[in-house]
Structure 1
Amino acid sequence: MENLERTLSTWIVRYRWWFLILMPLLILVLAKGLDLRFNGDYRVFFKKDNPQLQAFNRLEDTYTQTKNVIFLLVPEEGHVFRRETLVTVERLTELAWQIPYSLRVDSLSNFQHTEAEGDNIIIRNLVQDAPGLSDAQIARIRDIALAEPLLVGKSIPKDGAATIVNVTVQLPGIDETGEVTEVATAARALADEIRAHSHLSVHLSGMVMMNASFSEAALGDMDFLIRVSAGAMLVVLVFFLGSFGAFGTLLVIAMSALAGMGVGGYLGLPFTPPSASAPLIIMTMAIADSVHILATFYQELDSGAGAKCRREAMQESLRINLQPLFLTTLTTIIGFLSLNFSDVPPFGDLGNFVSVGVAISFLLSITFLPALMILLPARLPRFQFEIHMMTHLGNWVVRHRRRLLWSTASLMVLLTAFVPRNELNDVYVHYLDESFAFRQDTDLLDKYLGGLYYIDYSLDSGKTDGIHDPVFLHKIEVFANWLRQQPEVNHVNIITDTFKRLNRIMHENDPNQYRLPERRDLAAQYLLLYEMSLPYGLDLNNLINVNKSATRVTVGIQVLSTREVLALEERIHQWLSDHEPALVTEGSSPAIMFSHIGEQNIRSMLGAMTLALVLISLLLIGALQSLRIGLASMLPNLIPAGMAFGIWGILVGEVGLALSVVTSMTLGIVVDDTVHFLSKYLRARREQGMPSESAVRHAFSHVGMALVITSVVLISGFAILSLSAFYPNSGMGLMTAMILTLALLADFLFLPPLLMKIDKH
């Protein structure tokens, strides 16, 4: 191995001019793949064979789609049943049809109020010619609306303090990201127009606005966070490596990010909100290899007091670092590739982007960077103070090794014991922080009408025209009544309310006849008359399927935690099993999909982490040529994640989707410091015959500062990611920064005492 390292380092230095020319050309070719197509649709979080996604797609194929834009209108004071408010609602309802791809517009004004005149059913908009309404007419509209189950809790709250205009769109799906942007832009322009000419505050929510906001958050992060990260890296690198060292490292960082994302483009990897953090992570990870090469290079130059020429110093730096750099690159790639086991495809895409970037940064660090640094007339940064500090730290650790071993081990056990306090919880509408208008508007919608959370059930009668069957209608009516008694439920949208309203109207508006038709033929006649009278865009396709064998029941619920959604779903399933087993079906909605994916992802990532752990352990054992040290070295790499989740359990107590992939991802990163420390430790033991205590001091003085620099940069990079407005990215960044901090402390305060304990001979 030593001969191979020496041969490679000599060869790299000898042909440095070729690397200086060819590597940038290679990067240019790879970067041409950067034509990435961004996809902000929430469906990208689910695999195509995800059972909840498949159920949701089947439901949307059967009934009207649920992609929508919601305009929430809130009067400055009072309620919505005022002339000026109704004028605005009526106007907005008409203008909303101009939104691209609009399929249906539902509002208080165009609610199809039904009355009987003789044997005819008269259906008209609840609000007509709003500017000319008298006070008595407005009062009547209010009485009708607040007594209508199809409106209360869905379009208006019980107190009438707000109302919504719901625009359902049907996107062609040719360029969904562009189509979503087109709809969102039109909706915002319309909202601005309404605000300018009314006393109402106008707020935008809905699934289309969520998708648009996801895209804007991700692209905004790329712009803001990369700028902040580049600035922070520049400061740290100039401080530790000098201006020329920082310049060379920044070139490696930039080329690694460009090439990594370019290769991802060639491979057709989708660019999504989670994978949008890939450039920042690549930039952060790319620094480590360069820092180790340059730190040893400067030390070699400095130790010879200028006697060594730059080529010899770089050759020695490459010889010393080639094996640990290759090993750490491999372990990092294993950690990120393990994200492909995730049930959330964007995390796998993130892992693939970063893996390519890390591999390219390794190649650049051992070829392009050495060639550049040999040529640059760099002024040597002085490491005496830093090395002196590391030497003192090494002496202190050796002196207090027993106390450190037991105290750190006790702290590890104590913090890890708090891991079970964490509960899985995701609220997908809270993936964006409060700085986003969508989040503010959706929180306000939740206050008035329950937000975007709902569960759909498609209840099948088992026969064509079965929804006319009074027995079937009675069954689903009982189900709806039970649902309305559940504390989490705000509203139930069900076809039986329409049947009961029609039955009352056909019996001269007798309140006692607000019940289901008793005969099948009557139910069929009522529904036919009603459907024939409905205007374009307000048909019943959102409630019944084509052959009228099944009906959709939409259960509007409060914004709930993952645990609460799953508990409600289980309760509903159990009720159906106990009372109407023939109607048992799975609930479907984005809320259900996101609630299930968390648990599924944790199970899949446990397998991924196990595989990554086995592969990394085998690599370390083989590279270190010691079973005992290889296995022992995994302790300071595994335990920091447990400690971090323990601290999280104490301070937060909830983990979301993104945090479920952090342990596997960071496993490959935290191994890096351990490998470099052990590499210097074992060289001192084997090549110089030092006892374990002296070898620990040698490792601290020769690699300690490089570990501090790389760790500071990594921690800073992921801490900057925690500034993301997109919670899965910010949570992942914060947790990773915490794990890396604890891993550095473990490598300095736990690993050396452990080595001195098990490697006495």
Structure 2
Amino acid sequence: MKLIANIIYKRPWIVLIGLLVTTVLLGTGVTKLETKNNQDSELPEDDPIVKTNDYLEEVFGKKDVLIVGIETENIFNKETLSKIINISQEIETVQGVIGDEITSLSTINNIQGKDWGLDVGPLMEEVPATKEEILELKKEVFSNELVIGRLVSEDATFTSIIANLDEDYDQTVVYNEISEIIKKHEGQEKFYLAGAPINSHEIDTGIQDDVNLLLPLGLLLVLIGYFISFRSAKGVILPFVVVVLSIIWTMGLMGHIGFPITVVSSVLPMLMIAISSSYGIHVLHRYYEEILTSENRKVAARETVKKIGPAVLMTGITSAIGSATLIIFKVTSIQEFGIITSLGIISTLLVSILFIPAILALSKKKGEKKSTKNREVLLNKFLLWVAAVSLKYRVRILICTLLLFVISGIGISKIRVGNDFIKYFPKEHVLRSTFNKFNDKLGGVRTMDIMIEAKEADMIKDPTFLKKIANFQKFAESQPGIGYSSSFSDIIKRMNLQMNDADPKFNTIPDSKNTIAQYLLLYSMSGDPGDFGDLIDYDYQRAKVKLFLTTSEQEEHIALYKKFETYVNENFKGEANIEFGGEVMFWLAQIRYIVNGKIQNIFLAILIVLVFCVIVLRSISLGLLSIVPLTVSSILTFGFMGFLGIRLETGTAIITAIGIGIGIDFAIHYLLRFKEEMMITNGNLEKATETTILTSGKAIIYDVVSNILGFIVFIFSGFLPIQYFGWLISLTMITVAFGSLVLFPSLLGIFKPKSLFQQKMIVVKEETPPKIIKKEMALSEESN
């Protein structure tokens, strides 16, 4: 640090020019940033669910869908039926839609038995002309199990149009074109849009809205925080410039590396506001101390770097390490967030330690006397009272903290994990209402795919095997949370029913394999065997059962999966290989990685930070003390989550890593200053505590105020996990401050670590301990 301090002292302009060039070079990376909302690449490639989904796509094809829901009092009226036909036709023109793979009342194949065989054709080729024809259509719909409850609701108030999409479709184009089509047909009906392109568009829009709203709001609030803390132009402008430069460096690095913006990393600009303001506050506050005793501003700037530099460097490295431990998660967005946050922290400490002192070294005035501020006097009195209470009631404070741990442990036991993506959005969001509508009317849109792979080709045509599939469907549909199921067995049952005059007792799988083969032959005469391509493979060896779920509770998803796994293992044992995939299984896999990763992340981060602090501080006791605030904060925060029902999922999983960065920042600044004051005061615990809390402690208070103002903007996010992140990180700031300002003095007073209480004392010629306290009190009357 001496080298950097001397460069700033002698060549501040060189430092500033270097920072400018670096900012320009890194800033070009911002133009390369892209948004990613695709969940497919979130899990490791070797994950069983990923492999199963890849296999399912290989066998049955990968086709995202676009869904249009139509609601009215009764869909069986000429106007609504006409719109169904017209919209189905117009959707064919949407770029990315596979024109001959649209399912609606006007396009779905209706299998009917005739004297000559099976007739396969559209259920509604044209709008019924008379009431009688409408009633006949309604009768046909309600007698078709492949339609009622799946394509048309049982109360006849809701229907859907489903279109398959090409793999390389453009979600923005699809969203815009389908929106124009729906707008053209507005009337008595209410329309609902769902499917992959709609979901992706809403996530992209939410991310962009967050950045546009939260970033300027966060910058404004942190400016207010600086003004409250310093009440001077330099105290506001300098740390604010550090914030801006840190954001540019971090987001530029993100663009150069090729990391996309996700729901998780969308918080990064606001997070850098808080982190960079923290470093800026500590540097600037130390400068205000040094300027009181330095001969000029350049000397004060040099001494600031020499004295605060090691603490900033140490906190920056440990904070970066804490964030880097997020790579232990096997969830891509969390790993990327950990890496880029670590790089952002390093960037921030460099900007803070170089920019502020360089500017201050060039300032024209040493400082101006200002009148005593009552606010500062009150803050000093409050801090001294905190120090006195912490030392006087040290044992009671420790007991109360342990009691809080016990209570938090109860809360931690209540933590629920996981969410599917729809719960990223508030209850009033259009996607939430859309999903709820499909759940209520058509058995849901969340899916679980079960691939049943027989040992031999053509085995799926075997009646016994097909009956087992049908029985599994019956079992699945009897479970709460399952809307309906779909498989090749449904098609065979429909054929058998229609070939036997629609007699309900024939709504079963035929007993003869030859009969099934004949039905398929008859179907091929008027229909296309490729119609079953998403349910059966060409060799009739692999079948897919698609389950539609009405619940979004992942605990229920887990319970359902376990039931289904037990059932298929018992009933298909030795006959087929069973694999579970689909959207729901993806989210369940992600839960497993988040829970396991969180446990590993906590222990790894604390262990690494502990080892690092022991090495740097050259003391096991100080190393252990340094992790107290972050440990206290983590336990209290997770207990709070449990009691309030805030789930552990992608957004909240990163709390600990950020909390560790904040906790170690406060702890190191406090401990290093306390160690310095213990040497100056010849081991006087009370005096050292008073001076420390009036210097580093005051900087921590300023830090907490400005950061909470910065983090609180997250409550305005369009994503619930980000809102929770804002509340939780603000709580983390408070609990870490408690650990540093209240618990530290108590622990130091109780345990009296040798590395602090038996260190070699230094002689101070210029001032006695009482004058030191007086000098720190004078900080309330001085600034520049």
DSSP 3-state at the match of 1:559 = coil
- Equivalent position to 1:218, from 200, 207, 217: 207
Contact (CA 8 Å) 1:30, 1:259: kept in 2 or not? yes
Distance 1:557 1:679, change over 3 A: same
Offset at residue 329 of structure 1 (A)? 0.3
DSSP 3-state at the match of 1:417 = helix
Query: Residues 66-113 of structure 1: CA distance to partner in whole angstroms, max 9, x if unpaired?
Result: 4112111110x2x22222221111211111112221122111222211
Aligned-partner Cα distance in 2 for 1:465–1:600: 38
Within 5 A, what are the aligned runs for 1:119-130? Answer: 119-130=116-127
Aligned-partner Cα distance in 2 for 1:297–1:189: 60
Q: Which residue pairs with 1:580 in the alignment? A: 572
Offset at residue 292 of structure 1 (A)? 0.7
Within 5 A, what are the aligned runs for 1:38-117? Answer: 38-75=35-72, 77=73, 79-103=74-98, 104-117=101-114
- Equivalent position to 1:191, from 167, 176, 182: 182
Aligned-partner Cα distance in 1 for 2:703–2:364: 24
Query: Residues 8-67 of structure 1: CA distance to partner in whole angstroms, max 9, x if unpaired?
Result: 423332221101111111111111122112211122432323221221122122114341
Offset at residue 372 of structure 1 (A)? 1.4
Deviates further, 314-323 or 505-514: 505-514
DSSP 3-state at the match of 2:467 = helix
Within 5 A, what are the aligned runs for 1:220-619? Answer: 220-241=209-230, 242-301=232-291, 303-304=292-293, 308-377=295-364, 384-385=376-377, 386-534=379-527, 539-581=531-573, 582-619=575-612
Contact (CA 8 Å) 2:152, 2:158: kept in 1 or not? yes
Aligned-partner Cα distance in 2 for 1:87–1:440: 26
DSSP 3-state at the match of 2:120 = strand
Distance 1:751 1:726, change over 3 A: same
Query: Residues 621-665 of structure 1: CA distance to partner in whole angstroms, max 9, x if unpaired?
Result: 222232112213322221211111112212226433332332233
Aligned-partner Cα distance in 1 for 2:683–2:561: 64
Structure 2 runs not aligned, ≥5 long: 758-784
Aligned-partner Cα distance in 2 for 1:450–1:295: 61
Offset at residue 121 of structure 1 (A)? 2.4
Contact (CA 8 Å) 1:388, 1:701: kept in 2 or not? no
Aligned-partner Cα distance in 2 for 1:414–1:551: 51
Query: Residues 512-534 of structure 1: CA distance to partner in whole angstroms, max 9, x if unpaired?
Result: 43332333233123223324533
DSSP 3-state at the match of 1:203 = strand
Letter in 2 for 1:365: S
Contact (CA 8 Å) 2:280, 2:352: kept in 1 or not? yes
Letter in 1 for 2:320: I
Q: Which residue pairs with 2:691 in the alignment? A: 698
Query: Residues 351-403 of structure 1: CA distance to partner in whole angstroms, max 9, x if unpaired?
Result: 22222121111111111221112334576687753445433432343333333
Offset at residue 553 of structure 1 (A)? 0.8
Letter in 1 for 2:51: Q
- Equivalent position to 1:200, from 189, 198, 209: 189
Distance 1:373 1:444, change over 3 A: farther
Aligned-partner Cα distance in 2 for 1:348–1:513: 55
Contact (CA 8 Å) 2:461, 2:517: kept in 1 or not? yes
Offset at residue 567 of structure 1 (A)? 0.7
Aligned-partner Cα distance in 2 for 1:753–1:218: 44
2:182 matches 1:209: no
Contact (CA 8 Å) 2:182, 2:191: kept in 1 or not? yes
Offset at residue 325 of structure 1 (A)? 0.4
Letter in 2 for 1:337: A
2:25 matches 1:32: no
Q: Which residue pairs with 2:156 in the alignment? A: 160
Aligned-partner Cα distance in 2 for 1:37–1:97: 29
Aligned-partner Cα distance in 1 for 2:410–2:208: 39
Aligned-partner Cα distance in 2 for 1:540–1:298: 76
2:13 matches 1:21: no
Contact (CA 8 Å) 1:44, 1:272: kept in 2 or not? no
Aligned-partner Cα distance in 2 for 1:514–1:578: 25
Structure 1 runs not aligned, ≥5 long: none
Aligned-partner Cα distance in 1 for 2:323–2:43: 19
Query: Residues 222-241 of structure 1: CA distance to partner in whole angstroms, max 9, x if unpaired?
Result: 11110110110111112323
Aligned-partner Cα distance in 1 for 2:691–2:69: 66
Contact (CA 8 Å) 1:629, 1:755: kept in 2 or not? no
Letter in 2 for 1:158: E
Query: Residues 659-715 of structure 1: CA distance to partner in whole angstroms, max 9, x if unpaired?
Result: 233223322221111111111101111344232222111110111121011122233
Letter in 2 for 1:258: I
Distance 1:557 1:735, change over 3 A: same
Letter in 2 for 1:371: A
Offset at residue 473 of structure 1 (A)? 1.3
Aligned-partner Cα distance in 2 for 1:434–1:488: 20
Aligned-partner Cα distance in 2 for 1:736–1:584: 46
Contact (CA 8 Å) 1:416, 1:642: kept in 2 or not? yes
Aligned-partner Cα distance in 2 for 1:488–1:627: 54
Aligned residues: 743
Letter in 2 for 1:36: L
Letter in 2 for 1:228: L
Contact (CA 8 Å) 2:334, 2:650: kept in 1 or not? no
- Let me know the Cα RMSD of the aligned residues: 2.2
Letter in 2 for 1:571: K
Q: Which residue pairs with 1:9 in the alignment? A: 5
Deviates further, 261-270 or 333-342: 261-270
Distance 1:657 1:624, change over 3 A: same
Q: Which residue pairs with 1:649 in the alignment? A: 642
Contact (CA 8 Å) 1:450, 1:490: kept in 2 or not? yes
Offset at residue 286 of structure 1 (A)? 0.9
Query: Residues 578-621 of structure 1: CA distance to partner in whole angstroms, max 9, x if unpaired?
Result: 22223351321111111221122221232232222122112222
Offset at residue 333 of structure 1 (A)? 0.4
Aligned-partner Cα distance in 2 for 1:441–1:531: 37
Letter in 1 for 2:531: D
Offset at residue 560 of structure 1 (A)? 2.9
How does the TM-score come out when normalised to structure 2?
0.91
Offset at residue 204 of structure 1 (A)? 0.8
Contact (CA 8 Å) 1:454, 1:589: kept in 2 or not? yes
Query: Residues 398-440 of structure 1: CA distance to partner in whole angstroms, max 9, x if unpaired?
Result: 3333333322332233223321111223132111223532232
Letter in 1 for 2:346: A
Contact (CA 8 Å) 1:495, 1:543: kept in 2 or not? yes
Identity of aligned residues (%): 20
2:122 matches 1:136: no
